[in-house]
Structure formats: structure tokens, C-alpha cells
Structure 1
Amino acid sequence: MEALRAAAALLLLLGGSVCARAAPPAEAWGYVDVRQGAHMFWWLYYAGGSEGSFKQLPLVMWLQGGPGGSSCGFGNFEEIGPLDRDLKPRNTTWVQAASVLFVDNPVGTGFSYTDSNEAFTRDVAMVAADMMVLLSNFFSSKTEFQGIPFYIFSESYGGKMAAAIAVELTKAVSQGKVKCNFAGVALGDSWISPLDSVLTWGPYLYSTSLLDDTGLGEVSKAATAVEQAVKEGNFIRATELWSETETVIEQNTNGVNFYNILTQASNDKARSVAGTGHLGKACAACPSTALLRHRHVRPLHQQSLSQLMNGPIRKKLGIIPQNVTWGGQADEVFDSMKGDFMKPVVDIVDQLLAAEINVTVYNGQLDLIVDTIGKSHDFLYLSTCGCLTTGQEQWVKKLKWAGLPKFNLLKWSPLKDPASPERTGAFYKSYKNFAFYWILRAGHMIPSDQGSMALKMLRMVTQQK
């Protein structure tokens, strides 16, 4: 009965057709055919409330990870949207500080869908090309946003896609193909340099007392095998070995939570990974890539979230084709991208910085996937620069950006936690068009773990007080 009341409340609060709303509408949504047989879904919330009208605030596009995780579902109802998955108002929603555009990307993710397997994307270049079609369509139809500062925020594999999208968007804007005021990109716990993350897993877990000497040796050996496959250019094999390395970690840590090392996986998430719900498939002898999907795509499709999206939300939206199930093609999305999964995009970030695009990197202290400790056992104590080196920082130190030497010399500044002003919530430093935020007491999904701090960071990145 409570669930029915909540669903009814949502329909009353947000219901009605898009075209019937008074201008400016509170929200809008739709599909864009980005290629033949490839249909991408988007959902926009206009900024409002005490912060002022949407015209005084930026527009932020949020990209989820996976690949195969739904921005319109997980990012919206689990992280930064106006309502949580229980349909209760979220105090730390980003709609307070920006209009937010969620896109189910790549095609096949969330409510986005393809008509055939041939239409799935295979790499970030295809992902970026599809997004240019969507953004061209969006800004042409929503002309009120053309002059508003536009930022891309991302999480996990979404950061890898965001970097590639930002490069293509910069070109498209200069060529007049997309009319928007592109202001910057923010890469959250992002899969920019996969190998740098994998090689730091063992030292990170060892330094936090989650591995003993034997476990460190086993994890390091498995990670070295991944490194060898990458060096050989065998990226599909590298993805499979990535999964096997995670299995070694699970065996040696009694099943550490990859998203937040101090948090146990919820029962809901465990059921999802175990194979219940619409994504569930027997997995007693899954191949490596199937295990990856179970660990990193299906937790973004928790059973309760799936029921919400395929129930009241589907009814509310009113445009989802009858044959489309939210998240129904997520596994296929991941499988199609597995040859791209372990490829680095550090060079793409360099292109952005060279083009003077504002780039922000932010990372959770307790994240394991994109972790925050040194590359080798020796780095547990001291790196060559005289300080601890984090997993994310390792690829940053590989940048060819001319401002990097001065950035590295800067001392970070503390930020108070808005939820508890007596304690530090993060550290950050910035130089010219590059900034780095270390978010404390947060894992892979920073807005879920530290919503107030994430909102404060958003305001800072988008140059709000």
C-alpha cells in the first residue's frame, strides 16, 4: 500500500504530458534517433527553487558508468535527481544548483534501445558520435539553453566517455554543428587510465589492512597479467584478466565492496548481483566478462530501482515502446564495449587541456575501482616526489599539459563538510583550467555517499558561490 501511495504521489507531483506544461516546464524528456536503429533517451530537469530561475544557473549533463548504467535511473534516483528511489525529496539534489540533463548512454542503456545487435556502440568514438547527434538535437529544440554554461559531469566509465564527448563537442561547437556554451567537463572516479587503477589495487587494499602479505602477492601477480595483455594490445583479454583480478581480490578480502571499502553491499544489491530481477541469469560458471557485468552493471539495476523504472516511471513518461524494458539491453551494451574497456584515454584529457577546456577530476577516498593509493609496494611509503601518489594522480602525472609542473607544486586546500562544518569534507587544488578534488569518506558513487559535499563541489566547479 505504501508503494502505491508513493507511486500515486509521484504521478501527481510530476505527471502530465510535457507539451501541456506551463513555460518553463519543470522537466522534459524524449528520444533522439542517433543512428538508424539506435534510439537514445534523455530526461531534463529545469533548475528552480530559491536559487533562482534556470536562466541564472548552468546546465549539467550527467553520464553514468558501466558501460550500461542508466543515468536516467541510477544517477537520477540514487544520486543527484530531485527524488530518491523511494520518491522522497532529496535534500542534496543538484537541481538546486543547475538544470540537469540525464542521458541513457550508450544506446541500449536504461530506456535507450537498439533495434539490432549491430547498432550497439563498440568504442568511445562511436559513443561520442552518437552524443553529438543527441546534443545537436537537444540544443536545437531547447534554444533557451544555448547561451547557458553547459558542463558534463560523469562517473566511472562515464568519465571515459565524457572525455571523448568533450573533445568532439569542442569541435562541433567551433564548426557550428552544436549551438551551446560549453564550459567544462568533470571526471568523477573515472576510468581514464584503467591499468593505473588495476596496478594500485593491491597496495591500496594492503595499506588499509584488507590484504596480508600473501594476498598482496596474489593480487599483484594477477594485476601484472592484466598489464602484460595491455602491453600486447590484447584488450579483450585484458578485460577478462581484469575480472579475474577482482576474483582474486574477493577471495583474499572476504568479498570487499568494490564501490566503498568500508561499506557492505546491501541485500538489494546482493540479490541483483546474485541473479534475481529482470537482469538475472544463472551464473554458476560465468566467463570473466559476465562476472564483470554482474559486479559493475547489475548493481546499477537494483531490484527496487528496476521496479520503480519499469513501473510508475515508465507509466509517467508515456513514450517508452512496449517492447523496451529499462535496463533490458545493459548486458549487451557492456559486451559490445569490452574491447574498449581497458584502453586509456589520457591523451584525450591532454587534448582538452591544450584546447583550454576546463577539466575537473574528483575522486572518492574509499573507492576501490578507481582507487587512491600508490602503484607499487614501495609507493605505500613514499613516491619519488616525496609524497603518497594516488591511483588517479598517476595518470594525471602522465599528462603533457604545460601547466602540470606548477599544478604539482601546489598545496591542496581543505574544504569544510557542509553537513558537518566542524570537519573536513574534501581537499582540492586548481591551476588555470585544471582542478582536482579529493572527497573524503566517499566511495565510487560520491553523491550517494557524501551528497552535501558533492553539491558544494558542483557549485565550485560551475563557479557559483
Structure 2
Amino acid sequence: MVSKNVKVGGGVFLVALILAGVGVVIWALIDNEVTEDTPRYTTEKLEPTGVLSGTHPVFTKIPGVGNMFWWFHHTKALGFTHDHPVILWLDGVTGIPPSLLANFGMFGRYDINLVERPNSWVNRYNLLFIDAPLGRGFSHPLSVDKIPKNIDEAAEHLVITLESFYEVMVHFKDTPIYVFGEGHGAQLALALVKKLHQNGNLFTVKGVILGNGLIAPVQTLTKLGFYLEELAYVDGNGRRAIESLTNMISTAEQVGRPDFAGQLFQTLGRAVNEEAGAVAVNLGHIVQKLTNESLHGTQDYYGQWEYLQSIDSKLNANTMNMIMRPLMGVSSTIFYDFHRQNVVNAFKDSLMISAVDKVEYILNYTDITVSIYNGNLDAVSNTPGQLEWVNNLKWYGQPEFLEKPRLPIFVNGLLEGYYRNSTGLQFYWVNVAGLSAPLDNPVAMDTILRGIIND
């Protein structure tokens, strides 16, 4: 299914699809044969032009599976670049691929107009964006059936991609790396770090950072009705309607039907607005009201695409295909986020499975710090619901974490949030921010980032 954001003239688009299909068939005939002598991966370095010529877009080609796309940006900080930490960013199944949102939309070196961003994170850190799982962004599978169906399979592709990264960027093998995951990408980040530890090769991972993560989605949703009623988006009847749905989701998970829980989860936006009486609320960014058209059309993963469009209409797949793709040196037969719906379909049975056990594993068996931040205007990953699982984690440092006071985050005299910091675990409340806190409150995130990395 082609993303609705890809808007190309009908005839041209049809021809392009035919050519792309021919390319896939030829590729399948050549690359589908995997033997014992087949390498674990090969690496294709692209040749970007224009202002992007100083960046490093790369495909990690996994034989018999597909091509993982990653994009590396050297820091602008003084000194040797490998002396500065690497930030790896992941967005997962329901998010917007990092090569677009994190890169051009939030904190990459250039904005979507290819104007250098003055407050980019590249001013202090090296940035690594990976479009994952396979099938998202410019990462593309050999065929639809090669798209991973669960988080652990997707994490294995990320492990291979990281191996490829260190082969290309050999000087960064000893550089501290921090793995960020936003939304569903938080599950990817956790699975990647756990798998690296189990493989006995953590590289130099120092921290995993979870932003508005779908870590325990079922448990978090138990607070959704309370959250929306307290903010006056629904009344008592609306809260009961929401709790009826979230109780069904919880029951489905408890009886071993995460697939059914996932199906119910995808009805959440319609249920809140049409049955609970919220009318026109974007669940990812509740201060933005939806239009009638978006309400009665297909809600795009709780309004993330719609919210992004309201900020800058150029932040879409069409821009990536028509403007960025040629500058990056990506083949014209590869369409940005072409397999997006296929990826969602592939993960539908596992989307609601809790990843709390992976958080506990990292806390109990590694020296890697876990940092969690949550924008307070995200209803799906609402902060009260997130604290339900955070405050009940089972690890040796939990008593210390719970005993720590919650302290304010002031920036230029303004209250931007709060934090609780203990050895191994940190939690940040981010004010005036929805699903994507670095986009909504970059000032707070800059302070939080400095606190996590201690720079």
C-alpha cells in the first residue's frame, strides 16, 4: 500500500511503479540465493550531492532479506569527531522514519528546506539515523514476506546494521553511543541493546533513552480515560466509554490475544473522538484539534503525520522522493516509506506486547543507564499511565529511584518540566510537549539531553 503522502502524477507514478517492480524482480533473482559462503552483509555507500555532500547515507544489504538504510552526520563540535558521543535514533512501526522526522523535522543538521539548523544536536553530537524496521523510510525488503513480524527479528537487522556502521566508520568503535527510541521505537531500542548484550558485544553503548515509549501500552492505556477527563476533553460518560475499550484491550492481552488487542488499539482515535465525545482531539498532540476531514478520514497513527503537516507541509514522503532522494544518491526505483502499511500489518499481532521485561533486563544485568522522558500532551503514552509501569519496575535500584525527590527543570527562568534521577534510572516530565518532545519543546530536550550525557 502506497503512503497517502506520496503524491506523484498518475501516469508518471504508474510507470515508476512498474519500473520499480521490474527492479525488485531482477534483484530477487540475483540476491535471493543465500549460501554458507554468503557474507552476513555488504555495504553500499551512497554519493550525496549539494549541501548533503558532507553527510553519509548508506545501505546495509542483508542477503536474502533487504536493504537497511542509515544516515550518519559528523558533529560540528571542535576536535576529533569520534571524541564526541553518537546518538542513534529509532522511531519504530507507528512513528515517522528518522531520516525524515528526527533528521529534517527535529534536530538534524538541516531542516526540510535544506537550511542549516542553528540549534541542531549535531553541534555537540554525532547523529546516526536508522530507518527501521525494514520496510520503513528508505529501508526496503526483498519482498513483503521479508518484513520482520516481531521486535526481536527487527532488532537482529539493527545489530547487523550497526556492525556495518562500525565497519564503515571504523574510528567510532570506541565512541560512546546512546540509543534513542521514540514511541514504538522505544521497543526497538530496548530489543537492540538487550540483543547486543546477549551477543557479548555492546560496542560502547552507554545509555538507552525512551521517549513517550510504547513500552507497556496496555497498562498505560488504563489511565487514558482518567487523563482525558481530568483535562476536560471528555466527561464521566466519555471516560467510561474509553475505559470499556481499554479494559477490552487489557483482557485481550491477559488471555493471550495480543493480535486482538492490537486491532482494538488501532480503533482508539475513532473511539475517543466519536464515542467518548472528545470530538476533534489529536491523541498524540492533544492541544491540536483535528479537522472534520481528518476525523472522518483515516487517522494516521493518532495524528502524527497530521501534526507534522500542520508545522511544515514539506515534511512528507513526496518531498523525500522528489527532492531529497536525488540529492542523497538513492535509486529512483526506491520509494520512500512504500511498505509502511505492510510493516504495520506485519507487526499487528505483536504491537501491544509489553517490553517492561527488557527494561528490567538492562537495569539488572548491564551498566547501561535507562532514561525515560514523556511529553505531557501525549494521550496514548500518557504520563500517568507511563508511571504505572515505571513505579513498579523490578530491579535492585527501585527503592532508591522511588525515594528520590522530583525536581524542577528551569530554563531561562521558565519551568519546562521535572525530573527524578537515580543511579541507573532517570525519568523526565516534559511540559508543553506531545509525542515528539524534541519537536514540541526543544529547549527542555536540550537540557535533558545534557543531563543524560553529562556534557
- Scaled to the shorter chain, the TM-score interval is 0.7 to 0.9
Q: CA deviation at 1:13?
A: 2.3
Contact 1:170–1:182 (CA<8 Å) still a contact in 2?
no
Q: Does 1:28 align with 2:56?
A: yes
Structure 1 residue 35: Cα displacement: 4.6
Matched to 1:445, the amino acid is S
Match of 1:124 among 144, 151, 155: 151
SS state of the match for residue 71, structure 1?
coil
Task: Please list, as runs of the form range in 1=range in 2, the aligned pairs for 1:17-56 lying within 5 A after superposition.
Answer: 26-49=54-77, 52-56=79-83
* Aligned match for 2:52, one of 10, 14, 21: 14
Superposition deviation, residue 425 in structure 1: 1.2
SS in 2 for 1:151: strand
One-letter code of the match for 1:184? G
Distance in 2 separating the partners of 1:92 and 1:148: 23
Structure 1 11/301 Cα, relative in aligned 2: closer, same or farther at 3 Å? Answer: farther
- Provide the identity percentage: 25
* Structure 2 partner of 1:260: 285
The equivalent of 1:406 in structure 2 is 400
Paired residues in the alignment total 401
1:272-311 → structure 2 map (5 Å cutoff): 295=302, 299=306, 304-305=314-315, 306-311=317-322
Partner letter of residue 430 of structure 1?
Answer: N
Task: Give me the whole-angstrom Cα distance separating, in 1, the residues matched to 2:137 and 2:341.
Answer: 11
Cα contact 2:285–2:303 (8 A) shared by 1: no
Shift of 1:300: 8.5
Query: Does residue 313 in structure 1 map to residue 313 in structure 2?
Result: no
The 1:431/1:85 distance shift into structure 2, 3 A limit, reads same
Aligned to 1:350: 360
Aligned position for 1:79 = 106
Structure 2 runs not aligned, ≥5 long: 1-47
Distance 2:109 2:353 in 1: 35
The RMSD of aligned alpha carbons is 2.2
Partner of residue 235, structure 1: 258
Q: Which residue of 2 aligns with 1:393?
A: 387
Could you tell me whether the CA contact under 8 Å between 1:297 and 1:330 is conserved in 2?
A: no
One-letter identity of the residue aligned with 2:437? I
* Distance 1:325-1:359 versus aligned 2 partners, 3 A rule: same
- Deviation, 1:245, is 3.2
Contact 2:212 2:374 in 1 (8 A): yes
CA deviations over 1:335-374 (Å, ceiling 9, x no partner): 10111101001011000001232110110011112002xx
Q: TM-score, normalised by structure 1?
A: 0.81
Once the two structures are superposed, the pairs formed by residues 58-137 of structure 1 within 5 Å of their partners are: 58-67=85-94, 69-137=96-164
Specify the SS of the correspondent of 1:191.
coil
2:444 aligned residue: 453
* Structure 1 residues 65 and 301: alpha-carbon distance in aligned structure 2, compared to 1, 3 A threshold: farther
Distance 2:424 2:305 in 1: 36
Alpha-carbon contact 1:243-1:292 (below 8 Å) kept: no
Equivalent residues of 2:131, 2:138 under 8 A apart: yes
| Runs of 4+ that moved beyond 6 A | none
Note if contact 1:359-1:433 (Cα within 8 Å) is conserved in structure 2. Answer: yes
- Aligned mates of 2:222, 2:174 — CA distance in 1: 43
Shift of 1:457: 1.4
| Residue aligned with 1:352, SS | helix
State the secondary structure of the residue aligned to 1:442: coil
Q: Secondary structure at the match of 1:304?
A: coil
Q: Structure 1 CA distance, aligned partners of 2:402 and 2:361?
A: 19
Partner residue of 1:359?
370
Contact 2:92 2:133 in 1 (8 A): no
Q: Please list the CA deviations of residues 419-442 of structure 1 after superposition, one character each: whole Å capped at 9, or x if unmatched.
A: xx1211121121111111111111
User: What TM-score do the two structures reach when normalised by structure 2?
Assistant: 0.83
Q: Is contact 1:107-1:114 (8 Å) kept?
A: yes
Task: Provide the C-alpha distance between the structure 2 equivalents of 1:171 and 1:126, rounded to a whole number of angstroms.
Answer: 14
Give the C-alpha shift of residue 294 in structure 1.
Answer: 5.2
- Matched position secondary structure for 2:266: helix
User: Following TM superposition, by how much is the alpha carbon of 1:311 offset from its aligned partner in structure 2, in angstroms?
Assistant: 1.6
Give yes or no for contact 2:220–2:382 (8 Å, CA) kept in 1. yes
Q: Distance in 2 between matches of 1:122 and 1:301?
A: 27
The answer as to whether partners of 1:40 and 1:104 remain within 8 angstroms in 2 is yes
Contact 1:66/1:334 (CA < 8 Å) preserved in 2?
Answer: yes
Q: 1:393 to 1:52 in 2, by over 3 A?
A: farther
CA distance in 1, matches of 2:177, 2:432: 29
Aligned partner of 2:19 in structure 1 is: none
Counterpart residue identity of residue 329, structure 1: H
Question: What secondary structure does 1:253 align onto?
Answer: coil
2:188 matches 1:161 = yes
Deviation digits for residues 40-63 of structure 1 (CA, Å, limit 9, x no counterpart): 0000111114x5542331001000
